[in-house]
Structure 1
Amino acid sequence: MQINELKEEFRMLYGSGEIRTFTSPGRVNLIGEHIDYNGGYVLPCALGFGTYACARKRNDRKINFASTNFHLKVEVDIDEIKFSESDEWANYPKGVIVEIMKKGYKISGMDILVSGNIPNGAGLSSSASLEMLMAVIIDNLFNEGKLDRIELVKLCQRAENTFVGVNCGIMDQFAIGMGKQNKAILLDCNTLKYNYCNVDLKDNCLVILDTNKRRALNESKYNERRAECEEALRILQTQKQINALCELSIEEFNEMEKLIKEDNARKRAKHAVYENERTKEAYKYLNEGKIEKFGKLLAASHNSLRDLYEVSGKELDTIVDEALKAKGCLGARMTGAGFGGCAIAIVKKAKLDNFIDIVRENYKSKIGYEPSFYLSGIGDGTEEIYS
């Protein structure tokens, strides 16, 4: 939906008056998967599509939420906000309001209409996009845009952890809140130290391949992988003073891996250490414009997630295999938690149409239904739109 259309719908819903407009991107992690909780680096970027909002101050303490994507409308009193399953998507911005109020920042009543074009359940972070959108609306409407952006990122993560009850890390909110056009972010999720790197794909483009299998990394599998990593770390700590697996170099891990007798724990740890090294290399190659070398790292990352971490699944393996076989593809891998959701590929622009046709056809013949494809540039983080 175009911003002008959204404004028109806002007027029909809430009446005439000043309208302020905002945008908040989706995000994708280019490389560095399942290592945020192992003390490693991630390399996410903000996407060129996301969630949009029109907002207006009210003279009371009431907040009205509406969306063009869902029929549900929610009305809350700022001073009586509670989690409610029946409020569905509105719980994410409600949680942000609660966290911002705890900090004592200014806030009052608002009318809000949101509209998003991030596919639900694809793993491109529609919830974090909505959370950062709410935080920036409150910052700009009531606090003169003066609130610290990284503090807002932390508030949004806390809202999802404590109010919604989803135990997410901080990468999603960070990439969405801190994104810059044509840049990826090398982020240490433990310290929040970060560096931007240039992403100039030259005559190539970033393609998001949606398996259309809804992401289902259930809590038990996630907890199982974390427990296996923790067990490997505990064993290695008997020989070396480390706080996280990703503090080890590949050479150090190779010398010590025989200490981990249990096969699964050893494989999970190996993925974490090697993936962390790949992420640092990817940052370097992107900055140097070595796109083909970057593409090879994507394929190596997928192999590791499939064989060592075992979180890919039939659909993701099929779409990545078909992508890598297609002419013009420099690299591809699953992205996100796994067991469904999306993969990414770097594809020559001149071969793009052919790539999409072949991957669609071959995936459908093996899986039984078609995948979806999204083309995206790398965009800016959450911001107000001034028109």
Structure 2
Amino acid sequence: MTEKYDELIQIFEKKFHHYPTDKFFSPGRINLIGEHTDYNGGHVFPASITIGTYGVASCRSDRQIKIYSLNFPDDGVISFDVDDESQLPNASWGNFVKGVLQALRGYGNQLTCGFELVVLGNIPNGSGLSSSSSLELLIGSVAQKLYSLKIPRLQLVACGQRAENDFIGVHTGIMDQFAIGFGEKNRAVYLDTKTMMYEMVPINLGSYVVVIMNTNKRRELTESKYNERVRETQEAVYQLQPFMNIQYLGEIEKNDFDKYAHILSSDTLRKRVRHIVYENERTKKGVTALKNDNLVAFGQLMNESHSSLKNDYEVSGIELDTLVETAQSVDGVLGSRMTGAGFGGCAIALVHSDAVKRLEKKVSEKYETSIGYAPSFYVAKVGDGAHWAGSVVEGEPK
């Protein structure tokens, strides 16, 4: 971690000819179970991880924002006025910065000056580990520190979601930003996305670990069928409301779904609702299983979750299915499922630490044979949420 800040400080000094004042970190996230339930008022169970987005920044004396990313060096230094609410062209990563600042203004916060910022993320872009939300909460943390904003953490989380929904145009729920904003080391966030009530649940896996398996197939949410799934679930709510007093599909119990499923106008909508209702139930059971140290039960729920995401919600694909179904066949793996929005990205596996190498070997061989290129693997470590990481000492790096 120190090496990353050293690199960022060097680049900052080269680009802006002075040292930054502050360091920041914002993690990525995995979702253990509870997929596509967040924008349906259901329960989710994500955790922040120790890979993420690093930044160094300082205030300016004028109202110019100047930002540079080591992940997008060809974009150079992006500059705009802090009050400028227009979109940057060509889907620039700077739009995430502008979106968060716009959302902060919308809550009445005063952005008193411009700033300079250099960032570096080690979350693979488009991997499903929420690199965009990681950047959004980094920007929120930068603004909170540099502008001395006395605002609750939930407002920063909401600003990240509003940037995604209103400025970028992807109709995500709040799970990613919430997990990154509220994350704690060795704890997962059990969140009711309807009420915003949450519980931090200790992750006690004993001799097991969570392995992230990356398809290395990039996916863009705005180019995927993500927004289509949002529209489908909204249409299902509309069709069910004359018969059920609901605002979200996450309010529906399994027995009620079985009773009213015939009301829905198509088999496609029935499948979409069935996934949400049953996934919400699986999430509740999964939290109970982890609290009771029943990893076998949790692994089985992971397997059921992926099957539902593949067959009912139809957000998987050959790459994710190859990773997951191969992992499920490996001795020492208790369960595996895609994580994140789908359409590419990553899957996770709950695997005995002695079986990690076996998992990587078998999955790699099958994946390269079926898909034509190699996947990547990371052992997930659950870490703290987005935060100010300290002041920069003049003269760093040594």
Q: TM-score, normalised by structure 1?
A: 0.93
Aligned twin of 1:24: 26
Report the Cα distance in structure 1 between the residues aligned to 2:299 and 2:250, rounded to whole angstroms: 22
Change (3 A) 1:100 1:28: same
| SS of residue in 1 equivalent to 2:250 | helix
Report the Cα distance in structure 2 between the residues aligned to 1:110 and 1:6, rounded to whole angstroms: 15
1:225-240 to 2 correspondences below 5 Å:
225-240=229-244
Change (3 A) 1:344 1:279: same
Aligned twin of 1:158: 162
Q: Answer yes or no: is the 8 Å Cα contact 2:12–2:20 preserved in 1.
A: no
1:328 aligns with 2:326: no
Q: Show structure 2 runs of 5+ residues with no match.
A: 392-398
Report the Cα distance in structure 1 between the residues aligned to 2:296 and 2:160, rounded to whole angstroms: 36
Report the Cα distance in structure 1 between the residues aligned to 2:247 and 2:84, rounded to whole angstroms: 41
| SS of residue in 2 equivalent to 1:50 | strand
Q: C-alpha displacement at 1:61, in angstroms? A: 1.6
Kindly provide the CA deviation profile for residues 188-221 of structure 1, in whole angstroms up to 9, marking residues without a partner as x: 2232221111112111111111112222566673
Report the Cα distance in structure 1 between the residues aligned to 2:231 and 2:85, rounded to whole angstroms: 35
| Dislocated runs of 4+, deviation >6 Å | none
- Equivalences, count: 386
Report the Cα distance in structure 1 between the residues aligned to 2:225 and 2:380, rounded to whole angstroms: 30
Kindly provide the CA deviation profile for residues 333-383 of structure 1, in whole angstroms up to 9, marking residues without a partner as x: 011222211111111111111211111111111111111112221111100
1:116 aligns with 2:121: yes
| SS of residue in 1 equivalent to 2:170 | coil
Report the Cα distance in structure 2 between the residues aligned to 1:233 and 1:166, rounded to whole angstroms: 20
| SS of residue in 2 equivalent to 1:64 | strand
In structure 2, give the amino acid aligned to 1:150.
Answer: L
Q: TM-score, normalised by structure 2?
A: 0.91
1:283 aligns with 2:287: yes
Aligned twin of 2:37: 35
Percent sequence identity over matched residues?
45
| SS of residue in 2 equivalent to 1:153 | helix
Q: Show structure 1 runs of 5+ residues with no match.
A: none
Q: Answer yes or no: is the 8 Å Cα contact 1:26–1:118 preserved in 2.
A: yes
Aligned twin of 2:312: 308
Q: Answer yes or no: is the 8 Å Cα contact 2:170–2:222 preserved in 1.
A: no
1:1-387 to 2 correspondences below 5 Å:
2-17=4-19, 19-71=21-73, 72=75, 73-86=77-90, 88-102=92-106, 103-143=108-148, 146-215=150-219, 221-260=225-264, 262-386=266-390
Report the Cα distance in structure 2 between the residues aligned to 1:232 and 1:162, rounded to whole angstroms: 23
Q: Answer yes or no: is the 8 Å Cα contact 2:82–2:111 preserved in 1.
A: no
Report the Cα distance in structure 2 between the residues aligned to 1:28 and 1:239, rounded to whole angstroms: 36
Change (3 A) 1:290 1:56: same
In structure 1, give the amino acid aligned to 2:141.
Answer: V
Alignment root-mean-square deviation, CA: 2.1
98-107 or 114-123: which moved more? 98-107
Report the Cα distance in structure 1 between the residues aligned to 2:263 and 2:83, rounded to whole angstroms: 55
Report the Cα distance in structure 2 between the residues aligned to 1:216 and 1:84, rounded to whole angstroms: 18
Q: Answer yes or no: is the 8 Å Cα contact 1:25–1:382 preserved in 2.
A: yes
Change (3 A) 1:352 1:66: same
Q: Answer yes or no: is the 8 Å Cα contact 1:316–1:340 preserved in 2.
A: yes
Q: C-alpha displacement at 1:224, in angstroms? A: 4.2
Q: Answer yes or no: is the 8 Å Cα contact 1:29–1:44 preserved in 2.
A: yes
Report the Cα distance in structure 1 between the residues aligned to 2:345 and 2:374, rounded to whole angstroms: 13
Report the Cα distance in structure 2 between the residues aligned to 1:124 and 1:216, rounded to whole angstroms: 12
Q: C-alpha displacement at 1:15, in angstroms? A: 2.7
Report the Cα distance in structure 1 between the residues aligned to 2:188 and 2:219, rounded to whole angstroms: 24
Q: Answer yes or no: is the 8 Å Cα contact 1:295–1:331 preserved in 2.
A: yes
Change (3 A) 1:50 1:224: closer
Q: Answer yes or no: is the 8 Å Cα contact 1:26–1:124 preserved in 2.
A: yes
Kindly provide the CA deviation profile for residues 156-198 of structure 1, in whole angstroms up to 9, marking residues without a partner as x: 2112222222222211111111111111112222322211111
| SS of residue in 1 equivalent to 2:268 | helix
